[in-house]
Amino acid sequence: MAVLKAKDLAVGYESQAVLDNINFEINSGDYFCIVGENGSGKSTLMKTMLGLISPVSGEISFAEGLEKNEIGYLPQQSDVQRDFPASVYEIVLSGCQNGLGKRFFYSKEQKALALDNIKKMGIEKLKSRCYRELSGGQQQRVLLARALCATKKALLLDEPVAGLDPQVTEEMYELIKQLNDDGMTIIMISHDLVNVQNYATKIFDVNSMKVTTIKADKEGK
């Protein structure tokens, strides 16, 4: 079952395409990796998938049971964000904002969900700590827990292991794999071709515009 399709899509800024002729289909349960050189347009493509920027031309469509507000997103990190002065719990809870609707306060259920995802990511002990005092690996777990609050279906991750040491990188990949094994569709930008080959079901290379199927997804496609 396709959850996200790009058809003759061009992405960019102010009608200036950074990437064009994009065609792919992502199925439910896929682990879809986007690779390509720095500055080639991967983050721009991901922001277009999220609806944060409009396509220059062509189509990107969600299908069958996936809505834009049911996607979790872990943005590419900048130094400014690393200095964010809030507690781990506050940051994770802010991932529930999609479900806030017209209310001003988080519900009991949302608070429970935030705590659940904090546990899932193994960062309970860090709950009250200030985000900016954490290590890079701990910060990524916080952002993953935050992204999980927004979704049960699909996670979009923009270079989640950038700047992490090999041991912590491995742990992040294992966490993400566990989520994928539990049914989460993963869409991830990465530089790390070796790990990508190990985990991905499909690899989309924005330099060649080709999708390579590495292994069948859970539906055998």
Ligand X SMILES: Nc1ncnc2c1ncn2[C@@H]1O[C@H](COP(=O)(O)OP(=O)(O)O)[C@@H](O)[C@H]1O
List of residues contacting Mg ion (CB under 5 A):
43, 76
Could you tell me the smallest distance in angstroms from the CB atom of residue 32 to Mg ion? 16
Q: β-strand 71-74 against 16-27: which pairing, if any?
A: unpaired
Question: Which region among 21-29, 33-41, 87-95, 113-121 touches ligand X (by CB under 6 A)?
Answer: 33-41
Question: What angle in degrees, to the nearest 10, is found between the helix axes of 136-148 and 166-181?
Answer: 10
Our CA dihedral for 75, 77, 82, 88, rounded to 10 degrees, sits at 30
Q: Is 42 in the site for ligand X (CB under 6 A)?
A: yes
Establish if 18 lies at the interface with ligand X (CB under 6 A): yes
State the amino acid at position 114 in one-letter form: A
Give the one residue of 23, 40, 77, 97 binding ligand X; rule: CB under 6 A.
40
User: Which listed residue (27, 44, 110, 169) binds ligand X by CB under 6 A?
Assistant: 44
Write down the residue that tokens 């390579």 correspond to: 212
Closer CB to Mg ion, residue 43 or residue 94? 43
Report the nearest approach of ligand X to the CB of residue 172 (Å).
19
Residue 39, interface with ligand X (CB under 6 A)?
yes
Phi/psi of residue 148, nearest 5 degrees: -65, -25
Nearest CA to 27 among 60, 3, 61, 6?
3
Q: Which of the residues 99 through 128 are near ligand X (CB under 6 A)? A: none
Segment contacting ligand X by CB under 6 A, of 42-50, 129-137, 164-172, 195-203: 42-50
Nearer to Mg ion, 43 or 98 (CB): 43
Residue 66 makes CB contacts below 8 A (sequence gap 6+) with 3, 4, 28, 153, 154, 185
Contact residues for ligand X, defined by CB under 6 A: 13, 18, 36, 38-44
